[in-house]
Homo-oligomer: A and B are copies of this chain.
Amino acid sequence: MQKSREDRQAAAPEYHVDRQVGFFLRQANQRHVAIFANAIGDKLTTTQWSALSKLKEIQPCSQNQLGRETAMDVATIKGVVDRLVKRGFVATAPDRNDGRRVVLSLTEDGLAVIAVNVGAAVSATEETLAPLTSGERMMFLELLQKIC
């Protein structure tokens, strides 16, 4: 049997994009974002939800700090916060000690929108992991964390 031209010399394994981690990571993320958008009623994105939820834990805090806690770039977190402020979920105030800082906190509407949507967020997580068994989920989350 004739060997293919590829195999004759170096026997280099063929490269297939659709078998690489990056390809799957992008798709898995896309799927989750879609599921989340569908589950949530208030038109909140996954990043906005991350910012809101984290802010609830650590408020009051500066904009950049919130960005670091949610793994967002300074330019990214600014856009996210701007939109949340515009919608009245987040309030800003100048810091007395530091002239550069903008202190962020949740408004009542912000707290309310979190309370209303936690259930949907949990459901979104659930639906994303639905193809996996309970044991697989534990394993998957563990491995996923390792490559973050």
* A95 contacts chain B at the CB level, 8 A cutoff: no
Determine if A49 is an interface residue (Cβ-Cβ < 8 Å). Answer: yes
Alpha-carbon separation in the docked complex, A143 to B23 (Å): 14
Q: A54-B18, A125-B22, A128-B22 are in contact. Are A28 and B144 (CB under 8 A)?
A: yes
* A17, A27, A50 interface centre (most CB from chain B within 10 Å): A17
Contact A49 B17 (CB under 8 A): yes
How many residues of A are counted as interface, with CB atoms below 8 angstroms from the partner's CB atoms? 48
Report the minimal beta-carbon distance from A55 to chain B, rounded to whole angstroms: 10
Q: Does A102 contact B (CB under 8 A)?
A: no
Q: Is the CB of B118 within 8 A of A147?
A: no
Q: Does A64 contact B (CB under 8 A)?
A: no
Interface check A92, CB cutoff 8 A = no
Within the complex, the shortest CB–CB distance from A113 to chain B, in Å, comes to 14
